[in-house]
Amino acid sequence: DAGVTQSPTHLIKTRGQQVTLRCSPKSGHDTVSWYQQALGQGPQFIFQYYEEEERQRGNFPDRFSGHQFPNYSSELNVNALLLGDSALYLCASSALAIGNEQYFGPGTRLTVT
C-alpha cells in the first residue's frame, strides 16, 4: 500500500518565479492538507482540500493556491516567490471515514534564491 507521495523531492527557484508542488494521497484517503515547515519550526497549516474544494485555509497570502483533482491528488501553487518561502512543504492525507488521522508525505524542499 503506497503511502503519501510528493514530487519533486527538491526544487530550487529564483525570487519572483512560480512553483507547483504535487501530492498523491494514501490509498483510501479523500482529504489533502498542505503545510509549510521552516527550518527549526513546526509545520504551519496552509490549506485543506476535500471534494475538490478548499475547505479550510490558514494564514497564508493569496500567492498560495491549490487544487484537488477527481482522483484526490492535489497541487500547491506559489506565485511571486519570496526568499521567505524557502521551506519544506508537507502534504498530509486523511479520511474522515477511517479516523481522520493525517499521514504525511516526505515533503518537497523548496529553496528560493
Partner 1 sequence: EDKVVQSPLSLVVHEGDTVTLNCSYEVTNFRSLLWYKQEKKAPTFLFMLTSSGIEKKSGRLSSILDNKELFSILNITATQTGDSAVYLCATRPDSWGKLQFGAGTQVVVTP
* Binding positions for partner 1, rule: CB under 8 A: 4, 31, 33, 35, 40-45, 48, 50, 55-56, 58, 88, 90, 92, 94, 96, 100-107
Instruction: Give 4 or 112: the residue with its C-beta nearer to partner 1.
Output: 4
**Both ends of the chain: CA-CA distance in Å?**
37
Taking CB atoms within 8 Å and a gap of at least 24, the contacts of 65-74 are 66/34, 68/32, 72/25, 72/29, 72/30, 72/32, 73/22, 73/23, 73/24, 73/25, 73/32, 74/22, 74/23, 74/25, 74/32, 74/34, 74/49
Shortest distance in whole angstroms from residue 43 CB to partner 1: 5
Q: How far is the CB of 61 from partner 1 (least distance, A)?
A: 17
Q: Which is nearer to partner 1, 15 or 57 (CB)?
A: 57
Q: In terms of CB distance, is 43 or 81 closer to partner 1?
A: 43
Shortest Å, Cβ 95 to partner 1: 9
Pick 12 or 14: Cβ nearer partner 1: 12
Pairing of strands 64-68, 87-94: unpaired
Q: Cell numbers at residue 53, please?
A: 474544494
- Running DSSP on this structure, what letter comes out for residue 80? S
Tell me how far, at minimum, the Cβ of 54 lies from partner 1, in Å: 12
